[in-house]
C-alpha cells in the first residue's frame, strides 16, 4: 500500500511538472497580451509581470480598429464548423458501414483507408491543389473544407468504435420495419455519441489550426483564416504585435469552449474506440 501511495505521489508530481511546462507558452502569451507593443518589443515575451505596464490597450485595439482580424476570425469559425459537421456525418457513415455491413470488397476499402492514413498530407497536396483549380474552387470555403470531409483518421476511429456496437439492435429494428438509414440515424448514431464528441474536438482543433492547406488555396485577404491572417502581420517592414499577441490569445477561446462542451465524452470516446475490434 505504501509503495502504491509513493508511486501515486511521484506520478502526480510528474504530471504537475509536465502540465506547467505545457502551459508555459500560453501563460507567457497571456501576460504579454496585456503589455503595449512598444514595451513588448523592448522586453520580449516573459512570465515576469510588471504591473505598471499592464494595460488592456491591445484588446481595445482589436475590438475597435482591427476589422480585418474579425473577418479572419469569422472565416475560421465558418470553415471549422462546416468541417466538423460534414466530417462527423460522412466519416461516421463510412466507418459504420465498414464495421457492421458485410459486402464485397469491405476489407479492401478498409486497407485503402489505412494506406491513405499512412500517406503524409504534403504528398497529396499537389493533386488536391490541381483538383481545386480544375473545379474552380480556389479562394472559396469549399476548397479548404472538401479535402477534410472524409478524413482517414476519422473513418478508422469510427470503424473501430462501431465494431463494438450490438448488431442485435440492427436485427430488431429491421424486424420492426426500420430502413437502413433509420437504423443508423435513430439507433446506432446516438450510441456513437462519445466517439462523435471525441472526434469533434480533434477535427475542430485540426481545422482551426490548419495553416498550410488554406495558405495554398486562399488568395484574397478577406478569405484568410486566422493562422494565415496572423502570419501576414509578421513582415520585414514591421510587426503588428498589438493584434498578433492579443489576437493569438483570442484564438484559444473557441477551442476551450469546444472542449468544455464535449469533454465529458472525450476520454470515454477515445478509450472505447481504441480497445474495441
Quote the pLDDT of residue 273: 46
pLDDT digits (tens, 9 = 90+) for 98-144: 998 888 888 899 999 989 888 888 888 999 999 999 999 999 999 99
| pTM of the entire predicted model | 0.84
Closest CA to 193 of 269, 97, 139, 125: 269
More confident residue, 216 or 271: 216
User: Residues of the chain with pLDDT > 70: what percent?
Assistant: 90
> Range with the lowest mean pLDDT among 129-133, 175-179, 220-224?
175-179
| Residue extents of the structural domains in the chain | 1-65, 67-275
Distance between CA 213 and CA 144 in Å, rounded? 7
CATH homologous superfamily of 67-275: MetI-like (1.10.3720.10)
- Report the pLDDT value the prediction gives residue 267, as an integer from 0 to 100: 60
Q: Give residue 277's pLDDT.
A: 42
Helices (H), the chain: 2-32, 37-43, 57-64, 67-100, 106-118, 121-134, 141-145, 152-162, 167-175, 180-183, 189-191, 193-209, 212-217, 226-231, 241-250, 252-275
The tens digit of pLDDT for each residue in 201-210 reads: 889 999 999 9
> What does the mean pLDDT of the chain come to?
85
What is the grid cell recorded at 158?
Answer: 469510427
Q: pLDDT at position 276, please?
A: 44
Q: Is the confidence at residue 66, as pLDDT, over 90?
A: no
213 near 125, Cβ under 8 Å? yes
For the cut 70, the answer to whether the pLDDT of residue 220 exceeds it is yes
For the CA atoms of 24, 25, 31, 35, the dihedral, rounded to the nearest 10 degrees, stands at: 150
pLDDT at residue 271 greater than cutoff 60? no
Q: What is the pLDDT of residues 224-245, one digit of tens each?
A: 999 999 888 876 665 677 778 8
Higher pLDDT, 210 or 265: 210
- Alpha-carbon distance of 103 to 180, in angstroms, equals 14
pLDDT at residue 274 is higher than 60 = no
| 218 or 28: which leads in pLDDT | 218
Cβ-contact 241, 35 below 8 angstroms = no
What is the Cα 202 distance to its own chain's centre? Answer: 4
Q: Is the pLDDT of residue 218 over 80?
A: yes
Residue 248: φ, ψ to 5°: -65, -35
pLDDT band at 255 (very low <50, low <70, confident <90, very high): confident
pLDDT value at position 58? 81
Residue-wise pLDDT for 45-55, tens only, equals 666 777 777 88
Amino acid at each position: 500500500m505504501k509503495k502504491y501511495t509513493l508511486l501515486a505521489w511521484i506520478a502526480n508530481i510528474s504530471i504537475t511538472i509536465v502540465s506547467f511546462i505545457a502551459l508555459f507558452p500560453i501563460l507567457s502569451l497571456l501576460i504579454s497580451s496585456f503589455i503595449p507593443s512598444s514595451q513588448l518589443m523592448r522586453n520580449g515575451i516573459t512570465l515576469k509581470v510588471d504591473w505598471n505596464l499592464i494595460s488592456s490597450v491591445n484588446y481595445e485595439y482589436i475590438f475597435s480598429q482591427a476589422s480585418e482580424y474579425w473577418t479572419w476570425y469569422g472565416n475560421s469559425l465558418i470553415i471549422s464548423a462546416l468541417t466538423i459537421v460534414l466530417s462527423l456525418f460522412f466519416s461516421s457513415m463510412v466507418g459504420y458501414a465498414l464495421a457492421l455491413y458485410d459486402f464485397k470488397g469491405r476489407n479492401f476499402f478498409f486497407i485503402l483507408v489505412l494506406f491513405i492514413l499512412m500517406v503524409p498530407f504534403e504528398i497529396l497536396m499537389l493533386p488536391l491543389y490541381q483538383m481545386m483549380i480544375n473545379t474552380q474552387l480556389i479562394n472559396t470555403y469549399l476548397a479548404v473544407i472538401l479535402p477534410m470531409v472524409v478524413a482517414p483518421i476519422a473513418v478508422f476511429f469510427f470503424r473501430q468504435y462501431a465494431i463494438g456496437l450490438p448488431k442485435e439492435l440492427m436485427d430488431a429494428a429491421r424486424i420492426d420495419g426500420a430502413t437502413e438509414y433509420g437504423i443508423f440515424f435513430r439507433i446506432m448514431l446516438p450510441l456513437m455519441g462519445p466517439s462523435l464528441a471525441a472526434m469533434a474536438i480533434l477535427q475542430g482543433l485540426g481545422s482551426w489550426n490548419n495553416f498550410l492547406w488554406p495558405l495554398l488555396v486562399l488568395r484574397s485577404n478577406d478569405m484568410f483564416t486566422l493562422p494565415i491572417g496572423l502570419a501576414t502581420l509578421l513582415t520585414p517592414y514591421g510587426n503588428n504585435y498589438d493584434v498578433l499577441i492579443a489576437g493569438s490569445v483570442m484564438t484559444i477561446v473557441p477551442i476551450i469552449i469546444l472542449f468544455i462542451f464535449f469533454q465529458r465524452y472525450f476520454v470515454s470516446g477515445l478509450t472505447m474506440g481504441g480497445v474495441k475490434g
